[in-house]
Structure 1
């Protein structure tokens, strides 16, 4: 059912318009902060996109929980300023960035800060931004604020995560990204499942690194992926993984029996109606037989 799976992935991939809308939003946010801290014009070099929008594993329909993860690089002197605070300069930094953004984004949008980031929730609830103020280090990692427990600085290295994903995706001929998209769709469709996107991505990388799948069909790869994560996910999610494994097994049996309509119906139970429904071959054959069995009196003696 390779054709149906490719159609399914296309249906859940963000459209060009949606990608452009997201880019407009995170560019506007980063430019506003950049213009406050730098004298030079904004050219995008102080922005660093990471997470699902960078890895292109985000899916549609877009939900209010899908955030754009973006980092804004701040000058070293800004770090020195807030590092010299007697207590929780990290919290003061987030509050300063939040106040900068409030100049541009009015009361129609919600802006709040907690932990390490500033969250901008837009009125349309799409492509909300999680902005992470950061200070680039010589080793290409970033120093980021953590406001909890009195405040501290932490090391964050998104480049290593991105490189690991891109290498896996290249070596698997795009399979890493496809797995992530499909599993995210299952998670979103199965509303009681609570698995983080970063876990889905890390598991996909580990799964493909430790399993030879190039001779398998896509449905068999999915089956093995869920078998792989069964022991890794929390007890709250394990029953949902068991359910999806039973449905995949049932679908594979239908495929082996040439009953792809029934198989596609099983996949719809996993992914929702975005998965294409294969035409019922028995109905098609019945229709064809009716055509050929139509009385033809002109051939009678």
Structure 2
């Protein structure tokens, strides 16, 4: 298969479809709120909007956030607006208590701007709002004593639809590709910001656009180049369609990630097989493997049979939807030697017989389960039949010991409601020459 076919197959596999379970949840919530606020006993559709990435049709298959907006009767606005202090909080709490009647055993909280309902495999974030004559919505913000703010998701959805038609579907496909890159690399990159950057790049092209899959690698490189040249310290960007501000809550980490990834691609451009392998490293194992890379000679087949392939991949265990940041480090110690942290010396080889204490050093995620993967790499790992790579549940620390040569690595995953929401990796180069 060519790279064009690989991209086409990959993109076709990423289209999001609302599950029956999610669809039922939306209908249940809509029916409950319509009964309370509109005295409608069985209405399961009116006044509810699917918003966020799912509403814009740019979510990928592994997405686990279901963003909803419920249009409240305008007559209720004056009631909560007239509170002496934070009527916005009272509104969220009122919606929360109504939904608790429907889901008494489910964790529900009302905070900030949304009511959050945490189901087993996905999370609903519901915004109660009031539709305005211009199509925008006024919604509550409980911070700093309470205030009303505006959002315009319908304009964003319209812009996404028009951009997708104009680009023969490339807009949605590249929104999916950038999300998969983000999920595989393991860094925060908001969905609306992704959609806006893809839109801005495609909208800035002045040449005769070629949106065929034959041109996808060039478009991907150009989008990475565009993102890599952004100012990582910029405070905010304006969203497509609505022009609302999207604040830079991740310190522009996507800028350096884009530069690094673009260089990976450029370094592999002379060989299509190398490019396929690099794209699998960048976008994950769902990107099709080239036929030539799967071809094995008798010698390579014998080499492959010399060890048990025990490696597991997180996307085969849990859906991956990176929404939080995560950093891990490794404290290296040995009796009689100075203790040091690996990230302070990233190019240093580690000797054998040392204790390696891996730990979660920072994350903005709460209430999570921790899983670890230790992967041994190199001829010595194969000779010993010890490549490992299994994904194992643990806690915030994991202790290992350096035993033999190889450019090994350790990955950590945070899982919340059966979804991997954060991931991080640290390379562990070991050599007996540095004992």
Q: What's the TM-score, normalizing by structure 2?
A: 0.59
Deviations 1:1-43 (A, max 9, x none): 11111111222333x5x53332222222222112111123414
CA distance in 2, matches of 1:281, 1:75: 60
Q: More strand per residue: 1 or 2? A: 2
- Root-mean-square deviation over aligned CA pairs: 2.0
| Equivalence for 2:82 | 84
The SS at the match of 1:252 is coil
Per the TM alignment, residue 282 of structure 1 is displaced from its structure 2 partner at its CA by 9.8
| Equivalence for 1:214 | 210
Per the TM alignment, residue 235 of structure 1 is displaced from its structure 2 partner at its CA by 4.6
9 and 148 in structure 1: CA distance in 2 versus 1, 3 angstrom threshold = same
State how many pairs are aligned.
272
Deviations 1:144-194 (A, max 9, x none): 111111111112111111122111111111111000001001101111x22
| Equivalence for 1:299 | none
| Equivalence for 1:93 | 91
1:228 to 213, 222, 226: 226
Per the TM alignment, residue 125 of structure 1 is displaced from its structure 2 partner at its CA by 2.6
| Equivalence for 1:146 | 141
The SS at the match of 1:111 is strand
| Conserved? CA contact 2:129–2:137, under 8 Å | yes
Q: More helix per residue: 1 or 2? A: 1
| Equivalence for 2:175 | 180
CA distance in 1, matches of 2:151, 2:62: 30
Q: Which has the higher contact order (CA 8 A, sep 6+)?
A: 1
| Equivalence for 2:107 | 110
| Equivalence for 2:121 | 125
2:258 to 216, 241, 246: 241
| Conserved? CA contact 2:228–2:257, under 8 Å | no
| Conserved? CA contact 2:264–2:278, under 8 Å | yes
Structure 1 unpaired stretches of 5+:
256-260, 288-301
Structure 2 unpaired stretches of 5+:
233-250, 299-435
Deviations 1:197-219 (A, max 9, x none): 11100011111110144177101
